[in-house]
Amino acid sequence: MRVSEIFESIQGEGTRAGVPSVFLRLADCNLRCRWCDTKYTWDWQHYDRATEVTELGVSEVAARLLASPLRNLVITGGEPLLQQEALTELVERLGARGARFSFEVETAGTLVPAEPLRRAIHLWNVSPKLANSGNERRARLRPEALRCFAGLPRAWFKFVVDGEGDLPEIHALLSEYAIARERVLLMPQAGTRAELAERSPAVAALCRSLGVRFGPRLQVALWGARRGI
């Protein structure tokens, strides 16, 4: 597996925000978000891949995760579904060890998960990228994948919001893929504590108007731009 980092922290986003978790951050991504806060997992023009990425066997990754006392496992990236064959083997191996992990996957929702992985993951945190990400539409919105996740009862949708101008696109996506608003969170686009504090009230107001949940970004509020925590 191409691993960026393994660390313990609390889940900062989504419906399990605040839960102590062990994180497996996988390297590589198929998108290039302008505001990405983990560019060290894919931006090899500005980061040294040899320094940032460690190639580990599934058994070694499993051993490191089992060494943690925490049993909420957040699998993130990058885009973890680029490695879903190894990822499937990993979660099956951890399940077979009887460690009782709860598995979360953070994904941009551009790749269809294989059936065995769909069954194994307890919570999908799907974050379709809006135009504000700077990615071309055909790269960031894949209908087959979005239809798949919209049909999974354990999938929640998180949208990174710059402002009110993002609402028409969000409305269109919820309508096109029949995504219930009860499964939607809006999060402020913010990389620093100051940006988060400045933008959160406006995003909270948008949540009220749309009838969806506000998505906290606890990792930014607590630690700013620090990584691995």
119-161 pLDDT, tens digit per residue, is 999 999 999 999 999 999 999 999 999 999 999 999 999 999 9
Looking at residue 229, its pLDDT comes to 72
Tell me how far apart the alpha carbons of residues 126 and 129 are, in angstroms, rounded to a whole number. 9
Evaluate if residue 103 carries a pLDDT over 80: yes
Looking at residue 25, its pLDDT comes to 98
Evaluate if residue 97 carries a pLDDT over 90: no
Tell me how far apart the alpha carbons of residues 134 and 105 are, in angstroms, rounded to a whole number. 23
Tell me how far apart the alpha carbons of residues 79 and 70 are, in angstroms, rounded to a whole number. 23
Evaluate if residue 211 carries a pLDDT over 90: yes
CATH class of the region 2-182: alpha beta
Torsion over CA of 213, 215, 221 and 224, rounded to 10 degrees?
-160
CA distances from 24 to 66, 124, 132, 154 (A): 12, 15, 27, 20
The residues near 150 (Cβ < 8 Å, ≥ 6 apart) are 177, 178, 179
pLDDT band at 12; cut points 50, 70, 90: very high
Looking at residue 152, its pLDDT comes to 97
Query: For a pLDDT cut of 90, what percent of the chain falls above it?
Result: 95
Please write the tens of the pLDDT for every residue from 63-96: 999 999 999 999 999 999 999 999 999 999 998 8
pLDDT band at 61; cut points 50, 70, 90: very high
Looking at residue 226, its pLDDT comes to 84
Helix (H) / strand (E) containing 86:
helix 84-96
Q: Where are the beta strands (DSSP E) in 49-183?
A: 54-55, 72-76, 102-107, 123-126, 155-161
Evaluate if residue 166 carries a pLDDT over 90: yes
- What are the φ/ψ torsions at residue 58 (nearest 5 degrees)? -60, -40
pLDDT band at 7; cut points 50, 70, 90: very high
Provide the angle, in degrees to the nearest 10, between the axes of the packed helices 58-66 and 84-96.
Answer: 50
What is the value of pTM for the model shown? 0.95
Average pLDDT over residues 213-225: 93
Looking at residue 39, its pLDDT comes to 97
Residue 23 has a CB neighbour count (10 Å cut-off) of: 25
Q: What is the mean pLDDT of the chain?
A: 96
- What are the φ/ψ torsions at residue 27 (nearest 5 degrees)? -90, 160
Looking at residue 207, its pLDDT comes to 97
Evaluate if residue 186 carries a pLDDT over 80: yes
Residue type, 107: T
